[in-house]
Amino acid sequence: MRHFFIFCGICCFIAIIKLPTSFYTFLRIAISIGSLMAIYHWFYQKVYFLAIVFAIILVLFNPVIPIHLYRKHFWIPFDILTGLLFLISAFIKKKERNIAQASAPITSPKTYIRDRIILPKKPDL
């Protein structure tokens, strides 16, 4: 996932220069897929603020119902901010599990006498 986030960030920075319309269509698709992955990742990590931020990015860059700002200079701040968010997301470390919880000894459930299997005794020879 880290490599795809880096790829999305670089694509956003490339989008600052003037390119053909087909690149911007590709950018919308790539950023939408990356945003979906980021939303899933941040919900799994329980960082809901970043999940909401990437949901907003998903709405802004969606290829199905595109939002047109009609001027390149309106898109440049969004491209820079989105690129930075993807690069920051690529390099943020995942939450570590609670050490006390991870190192807690595994205990077996309590057993009762009625749950034990008693084998018949063998006669002594």
Count helices and strands (H / E) in the chain. 5, 0
Q: State what percent of residues in the chain have pLDDT above 70.
A: 82
**Which stretch of 16-25, 65-74, 109-118 has the lowest confidence by average pLDDT?**
109-118
* CB-based contact 27:12 (threshold 8 Å): yes
Residue bearing tokens 């919880």: 101
pLDDT digits (tens, 9 = 90+) for 30-41: 999 999 999 998
* Burial call 80-98: b when 16+ CB within 10 Å, e when fewer: eebbebbbebbeeeeeeee
pLDDT at site 65: 86
Residue bearing tokens 């057993």: 111
Q: Where are the domains of the chain?
A: 2-94
pLDDT digits (tens, 9 = 90+) for 56-101: 999 999 888 888 878 888 888 989 999 999 998 888 876 665 555 5
Q: CA nearest 76: which of 13, 19, 121, 122?
A: 13
Average of pLDDT values for 24-31? 91
Choose between 64 and 111: higher pLDDT.
64
pTM value is: 0.70
Axis crossing angle, helix 48-61 with helix 72-91, rounded to the nearest 10: 140
